[in-house]
Amino acid sequence: MPLKVRKNHSPEPPLNCPLSECLAIVGGAWTPNIIWYLSAGPRRFSELKVDIPGISAKVLTQRLRTLEAEGAVHREVKPTSPPSVEYRLTDMGEELVPAIEAIVAVGHKLKQRKARAARLNFGTAQS
């Protein structure tokens, strides 16, 4: 019978639902970037803002707050004359890094592959 229903392997169920819930913490479009830059060490609000070109203050704040609430980052206010705030990954936050890096790695690979394919189309074209 060629039409048997295959079982799903499911050694462990993935995130059910829209990857949200568990991954809500990493859900925002910019969140991975934030965590990635924070993985290099503590960083201030304005530094992150220039690190991540294109992100708005609003979104940066939002994401940072969420991450803080989730316990992934620590927020420390330095009572200096020009107020400065330092953000830092917590232990839990550090645990997210490998996943982020895996994503980033794949992203780069995909990009290269795509670029190479495009070049081939222009150059040698069909074999």
Residues 33-92 that bind its own copies (CB under 8 A): 33, 36-37, 39-43, 47, 51-54, 70, 80, 84, 92
Residue 82 exposed, middle or buried by CB count within 10 Å (0-12, 13-18, 19+): exposed
Q: Which does 16 bind (CB under 5 to 8 A by kind): its own copies, DNA, none?
A: its own copies
Q: Which is nearer to its own copies, 29 or 125 (CB)?
A: 29
Q: Which is nearer to its own copies, 108 or 119 (CB)?
A: 108
Sign of CA dihedral 109, 110, 116, 119: negative
Chain contacts with DNA (rule: CB under 7 A): 18, 27-30, 44-47, 49, 54-59, 61-65, 75, 77, 82-85
